[in-house]
Amino acid sequence: MSCFSFLKTMMFIFNGIIFLGGIAVLGIGVWVKVDGGSFLKILGSAAPQLMQVVNVGYLCMAVGGFLILMGFLGCCGAVKESRCLLMLFFIIILIIFIAEIAGAVVVLAFSSLSKIFIEYLGNVAVKYLREDYGNSNELTTVWNTTMKELKCCGFHGYEDFNNSTYYRNHQQYPSVCCANVSPCQQYNVSSEVKGCFKAFEHFLSQNGKIVGGVALGICGLELAAMIVSLVLFCQIGDK
């Protein structure tokens, strides 16, 4: 088997897996939105700990659609030996790669800008917590999942729920703020339960090597995909 045929086959297999994965993710997203009741029953019996993540149907559909597009471009570009599709595939991966590098540079080199962004993010998060937590099912589910998994409360701390719609309606904080003691009042708020931002920082500090390894792995796959698509593009042009 020639080098060209090998790269072509690997490009097809790799993007075929991405395409099938995209179909699966898209199907789950559609299922959640169209027939959430039956999905809840199956998920509840198979993995009760995942019951809180069923309201991410739109995210699943968006991610699934994007994976299908990328898989289609890669597979068709390789099989049909289409320089146009291969170049489009290369450009999309390149844009994603540049965006990731730019984001890393901003986080590492512009700490003051990062602080401004974090402050803005915190203001937005607190605003939604006070106005929509307990009223919006999807937002409440996302926050409950986050607080449960990270063992945290609010963005900065339990004070984020002061004067909130949830507190006015229930006259208490979410039970996770008191280490699942109910009713959760200010006098029994657990000092061990920090704000979710601090908890996330702690998670990153504890799992930084894993997160970094995954990020490097993704960047490596993106680089490999760009190199293979560019090599195929050039070899097809030389035929």
The ranges assigned to domains in the chain are 1-110+209-239, 133-206
Q: What's the per-residue H, E or C state across 163-175?
A: CCHHHHHHCCECH
Task: Tell me which architecture the domain covering 133-206 has in CATH.
Answer: Orthogonal Bundle (1.10)
Provide the percentage of residues in the chain whose pLDDT is more than 90. Answer: 0
The H or E element spanning position 9 is: helix 3-34
140 has pLDDT over 70: yes
- Does 216 or 114 have the greater pLDDT score? 216
Residues forming beta bridges with residue 194, ordered by sequence position = 152
C-alpha span between 110 and 21 (Å, rounded): 36
Higher pLDDT, 54 or 183: 183
pLDDT at 109 (0 to 100): 64
Report pLDDT digits (tens) over 51-83: 444 455 677 788 888 888 888 888 888 888 888
Tell me the whole-structure pTM to 2 decimals. 0.57
Instruction: Look up residue 43 and give its amino acid.
Output: L
